[in-house]
């Protein structure tokens, strides 16, 4: 949501009418801030009213994200709220969200970090109306969480590259200029895309054998160069296929990992294990994230508006928010990429909510 207090006009109205308007639109008032407020620049502050929910109220939360259920002993990481510099982020209102998007379809498209955000949103909505029916259907790569009483569907489509991966005679080919499965993205009211982490994989974790650019195959190339080509292909698809008067398009942004303490000024910390507090302040010692500039460059050059949920800094500051060894796979499985729920992805959905409020 664009924050622009300078455009407000002062109109004389009866006091009782003004009070009624303020009551009916209290959600809007929380996001009317000073000119130029950047919701993505700020710091984490302790707030004892957090977390926004208890995962025990959401039985559909994946075991890999439910850190408390998996034995994480500390709870302070649950108590932090994102506070932008110079303005406030509105507290998420699930009932309001459901009313606004009654009869609508919302789709997340991306990797397991999209899944992280999708599960957060479904839980935040469920606890707002705990006695309302819901359905959860999984078909192939598509998961659909619906609230029949509101006619709203919150979908998650697994697609970590956005561009095509095909099996050819030479092996698995990542086609950087090709999107042939985009039909599933059409006709949706809100699209939230994400792609980054799969592009960083190497060795046995890499899920392709060749890159293809145009008609040429490459056994290897710079992964960030490939990422930029693919993201540009995605942006061109948006330009050609999306009507912005019917569909709002978001890009989730690049979520930080914490695999080496030297990046945040603590060389004694091997990784995210044992971290219990965020970094203080609003700067990250490790500098600019390698994927961040690419995402900003591509999304800012689209003629059809793509709203960037610029989550990089706020995730860089949360070295404490990962499952670490509490992802359900035992002490041998260390996860410093995904996020505990409740936790950091709830803020991503607060930012999504704020951006969807009327300007």
Q: How far is CA 324 from CA 24, 68, 208, 257, in A?
A: 43, 12, 27, 11
SS3 assignment, position 147: strand
- For 104, the token pair is 């609508």
Among 318, 337, 317, 340, CA closest to 119: 340
* 146 given a catalytic annotation: no
Distance of CA 163 to the CA centre of its chain: 19
SS3 assignment, position 3: coil
> Would you tell me how many other CB atoms lie within 10 Å of the CB of residue 22?
11
Q: Sheet harboring 216-218: ordered strands across?
A: 164-168, 171-175, 210-213, 216-218
CA-to-CA distance for 298 and 296, rounded, in angstroms? 6
Among 93, 96, 99, CA closest to 149: 99
* 338 given a catalytic annotation: yes
* 112 given a catalytic annotation: yes
CA-to-CA distance for 278 and 339, rounded, in angstroms? 13
Strand 152-158 to strand 164-168: parallel, antiparallel, or no bridges (unpaired)? unpaired
CA-to-CA distance for 48 and 176, rounded, in angstroms? 46
Could you tell me if 84 and 40 are in contact, meaning their C-beta atoms sit under 8 angstroms apart?
yes
**Active-site residue among 43, 112, 143, 153?**
112
**Active-site residue among 66, 271, 335, 346?**
335
**Active-site residue among 43, 146, 338, 346?**
338
What is the Cβ-side half-sphere exposure of residue 300, based on CA atoms within 13 angstroms? 7
For the stretch 212-217, contacts whose Cβ atoms lie closer than 8 Å and that sit 24 or more positions apart, written own/partner, are: 212/173, 212/174, 212/175, 212/176, 212/177, 212/178, 213/176, 213/177, 214/177, 217/170, 217/173
- For 279, the token pair is 């970094």
Q: Assign residue 86 a region: left if phi > 0, alpha if psi is -120 to 50, beta otherwise?
A: left
Active-site annotation, residues: 112, 335, 338
């Amino acid at each position: 949501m664009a924050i622009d207090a300078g455009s407000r006009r002062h109109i004389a109205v009866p006091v009782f009418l003004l009070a009624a308007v303020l009551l009916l639109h209290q959600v809007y008032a929380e996001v009317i801030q000073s000119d130029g407020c950047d919701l993505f620049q700020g710091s984490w502050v302790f707030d004892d009213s957090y977390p926004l929910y208890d995962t025990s109220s959401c039985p559909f939360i994946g075991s890999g994200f439910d850190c408390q259920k998996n034995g994480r002993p500390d709870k302070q990481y649950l108590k932090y709220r994102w506070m932008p510099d110079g303005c406030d982020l509105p507290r998420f209102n699930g009932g309001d969200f459901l009313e606004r998007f009654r009869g609508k379809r919302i789709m997340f498209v991306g990797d397991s970090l999209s899944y992280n955000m999708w599960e957060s949103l479904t839980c935040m909505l469920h606890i707002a109306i705990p006695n309302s029916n819901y359905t959860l259907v999984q078909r192939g790569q598509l998961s659909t969480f619906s609230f029949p009483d509101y006619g709203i569907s919150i979908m998650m489509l697994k697609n970590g590259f956005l561009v095509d991966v095909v099996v050819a005679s030479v092996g698995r080919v990542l086609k950087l200029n090709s999107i042939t499965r985009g039909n599933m993205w059409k006709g949706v009211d809100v699209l939230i895309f994400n792609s980054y982490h799969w592009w960083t994989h190497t060795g046995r974790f890499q899920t392709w054998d060749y890159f293809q650019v145009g008609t040429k195959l490459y056994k290897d190339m710079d992964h960030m160069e490939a990422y930029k080509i693919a993201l540009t292909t995605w942006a061109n698809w948006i330009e050609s296929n999306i009507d912005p008067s019917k569909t709002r398009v978001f890009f989730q942004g690049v979520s930080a990992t914490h695999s080496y303490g030297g990046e945040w000024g603590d060389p004694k910390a091997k990784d995210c294990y044992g971290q219990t507090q965020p970094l203080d302040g609003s700067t990250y010692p490790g500098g600019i994230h390698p994927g961040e500039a690419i995402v900003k460059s591509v999304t800012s050059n689209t003629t059809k508006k793509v709203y960037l949920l610029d989550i990089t800094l706020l995730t860089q500051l949360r070295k404490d928010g990962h499952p670490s060894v509490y992802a359900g796979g035992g002490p041998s499985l260390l996860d410093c990429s995904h996020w505990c729920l409740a936790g950091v992805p709830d803020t991503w959905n607060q930012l999504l909510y704020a951006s969807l409020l009327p300007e």
